[in-house]
Chains A and B, each alone.
Chain A
Amino acid sequence: MTRSPAAGGAGLTRPGLAWALPATAFFAVFALVPLALVAVLSFTAWNGVDSPRAAGLANWTALLHDPVMLKSLWLSALLTTLGVLVQTPISLLLGVWAAGHQRHRAILSAIYFVPLLLSATAVSVLWRALLDPNFGLPAQAPWLFGDGNLLGSRDGAIGVLAFVGAWQWTPLHTLIYQGAARAIPQVLYQAAAIDGAGRLRQFWHVTLPQLRTTMVTSTVLMVVGGLTTFDTVLILTQGGPGTETTISAYYMYEQGFKSFDFGQASAIALVLVLVATLVSLAMVRLSGYDAMRAGTEGI
């Protein structure tokens, strides 16, 4: 799309394809080739010791009938949904609040930000230590934690994963909402105030509609992040108790690197890629990013 005839003038020299080559080649070798290999491996039987053997559709039919796989998909969806339901309202409210000009706001925002400085590994390790039933918080606060068997029970383990996810990621989404809330023109609030709208109605009729695209972005981030959660599960629950927190991303690791069924693991990996791609495409559609890009491409 050209904006003006002048912009397309012959005097302009543009970078050739060769400029894009190094990055593309690098990406191809370390991302696209492995991706193609995943697809190939999903049709083989391979234990990591022998060479991969062609296995036809065996992995895929096994996957279809594998109760743990079906459950892992359901668990991935459950944890993702929980993440969205917990994090969205909190980060939305906090973000809008932090975009204002209250006293102490800067200090509080700085503290809220700290969990983001920790890696997912560090966060998981921290909470695993804090939630130890005998030497951690539950031993001292039985009124809150009961007997403290959080990671050993189904509901407890799922709750912990959802909570730790929220603890770590809410600050990021708060930040995203804060940025977006700052960008809302004050005029809209003034107009609403003149119409006699109170704070609640202003929030409902001005803030929320203005943050719609941001909500899409933030939600998609949560969904993609939730589907690919791995460190947290490995460190906090190892998919247990039993298989109660074996989400798909962890199940793939377990099938591959613990049960040494790399063919099966590859099939699960491909399912993950497909789901993540579908979600991302939906993101592009919903957020209208594609249209924006088309409008600015090739200026």
Chain B
Amino acid sequence: MKHVSTAPHRRASSPSHPSRAPRRSHVPLTATALACAAALSLVTACGSSGGSGSGGSGVIHVLAYGDAGNTVEKSIVDTFNKTSKVKAVLDTIPGADYQSKLQTVINTPQAPDVFFNWGGGSIAPFVKAGLLMPLDDMIAKDPALKADFLPSVFNTAVIDGRSYGVPMRGTQPVLLFDNKKVLADAGLTPPTTWDQLLDEVRTLKAKRITAIALGGGDQWPELMWFEYLFDRVAGPGVLQKAVGGDKSAWSSPESTKALGLLKQLIDAGAFGTTYDSVKFTDGGSPALLAKGKAAFELMGSWEYATQQSANPDFAKNQLGYSAFPSVADGQGDPNDLVGNTNNFYSVRSTTKYPDAVAQFLKLMYSDEFVKAQLAIGNLPTTTNTPKFLASSASPAYSQYQYDLVERAPSFQLSWDQAYPPAAMTPMHQAVQRFFDGQLDAGGFVAAMQALPTP
């Protein structure tokens, strides 16, 4: 990933100079006046670079998650600005802080007009507080805003029967990535069953290679293992019930079995011993895979873009990928996927330029958008995507993902996005403590049952 370049995020503003009554008498008053003057001059100096919202300036602010994917968001904004009188400005916030920054500004005058989110629970509190604009009127005027997207994806941002988001990136199923060279040297192939995975872990361990790279310091990469195992063992129903408020879903026998399997993998030393000191976000765990210090990594499909930007040779020649292995006697379909169905643009109800926003959202199903997303390895979820698959950065990878998504009976949204934001920290902590051995299965179930539901 490259450092998100510093595009000018200047917000137009007209710094006002309240007239300052001239005073001659006392020093302290002079000092106060001077302090005010200093403060004012600061406002004029920095006012152009921040604050003051979009009031009356003919600008809509688009807030996006800052990462390697921003190149497309930037070019789309440029395209929009070529024809629109109301100009769009793209603001980005580095990933780790995105959700907390968003939540802190969403109900202030500095709130963006359009913002990136994960749909589902991540916007539910905003909908409840009446902060978001239902897009149904826009869709009535331009049915393609809904019809041109895959329904299973579009529905992630439908809440109480109303549409609140338009898909704006690629779909991101979680896949089991591998280092082809490490596997070949050990005489292994990507595992198709859980038992095969356990066997390969033992083989790799005997060769003193960490079987699976894991960015436990970020916590959410550990969550992916829970998501897949629960789906394979019990099917997607557990989470749907749990998010719906039925806490007993967590204490089923299937739940115990899934946790038992994961525990077995951890105890087999599959992740080595230092995973909680390693992160994915800072490039740590991808480097382990790329440098051949680990054989596998379970990660969202963005792993490809990450490797392509940090280790291009590796991404091109040695990065392998496969679906999560099946589990014997599991109730879940082995074709089920977990991950982020897509990311969405939602609209703040206070925007002054709903028409301009509608025009902006239309770009999300344009040919240009689809091509640009494919070029950086993302897989858009528009109905016209298959037309362009051959033009992607890695046609084989795009086609593979597309087939997976098309075939999948269920595509489960990441647990931490399905729950409301307030659940994220305790959920991540429970996940990490289970990996550390500080929580047993019972403790983990209790922690999940204590989470707030929408």
Option from B26, B32, B100, B125 in Cβ contact (under 8 Å) with A258: B100
Q: Does A240 count as interface, using CB distance less than 8 angstroms? A: yes
Q: Which residues A44-83 have CB closer than 8 A to chain B?
A: 47-50
Give the interface segment out of B77-85, B191-199, B432-440: B432-440
Write out the residue numbers on chain B whose beta carbons fall within 8 Å of the beta carbon of A259.
421-422, 424-426
Q: Does B75 count as interface, using CB distance less than 8 angstroms? A: no
**CB 8 Å contact bits of B38-62 with A (1 = contact, 0 = none):** 0000000000000000000000000
Q: Does B150 count as interface, using CB distance less than 8 angstroms? A: no
Option from B104, B288, B426 in Cβ contact (under 8 Å) with A48: B104
A133 and B277 contact, CB distance less than 8 A: yes
Q: Does A290 count as interface, using CB distance less than 8 angstroms? A: no
Give the interface segment out of A16-24, A98-106, A176-184, A209-217: A16-24
Q: Does B388 count as interface, using CB distance less than 8 angstroms? A: no
| Count of A interface residues, CB-CB < 8 Å | 34
Write out the residue numbers on chain B whose beta carbons fall within 8 Å of the beta carbon of A241.
216, 276, 432-433, 436, 438
A147 to B275, CA, bound (A): 11
Give the interface segment out of A150-158, A167-175, A268-276: A150-158
B32 and A257 contact, CB distance less than 8 A: no
Chain B contact surface mostly: helix
Q: Does B22 count as interface, using CB distance less than 8 angstroms? A: no
Total A-B pairs, Cβ < 8 A: 105
Q: Does B103 count as interface, using CB distance less than 8 angstroms? A: yes
Q: Does A132 count as interface, using CB distance less than 8 angstroms? A: yes
Q: Does A109 count as interface, using CB distance less than 8 angstroms? A: no
State which size class the interface on B falls in: 35 or more
Write out the residue numbers on chain A whose beta carbons fall within 8 Å of the beta carbon of B341.
none
A138 to chain B, nearest CB (A): 8
* 24 pairs, CB–CB < 8 Å, chain A vs chain B: A18-B26, A21-B32, A48-B103, A48-B107, A133-B278, A134-B274, A134-B287, A149-B273, A149-B274, A149-B275, A151-B276, A152-B273, A152-B275, A152-B277, A153-B436, A240-B217, A241-B432, A241-B438, A242-B433, A242-B436, A243-B429, A257-B100, A258-B424, A259-B426
Chain A contact surface mostly: loop
Chain B residues in the interface with A (C-beta under 8 A): 26-29, 31-32, 35, 100, 103-104, 106-107, 125-126, 129, 131, 216-217, 219, 272-278, 284, 287-288, 293, 421-422, 424-426, 429, 432-433, 436, 438
Known contacts A49-B126, A132-B277, A152-B276, A260 near B421 by CB under 8 Å:
yes
B81 to chain A, nearest CB (A): 30
* Residue in A19, A135, A147, A258 whose Cβ sees the most chain B Cβ within 10 Å: A258
Q: Which residue of A lies closest to B439 (CB)?
A: A242
A49 and B277 contact, CB distance less than 8 A: no
6 smallest CB-CB distances across A and B, nearest first, come from A152-B276, A133-B274, A242-B433, A149-B274, A152-B277, A151-B277
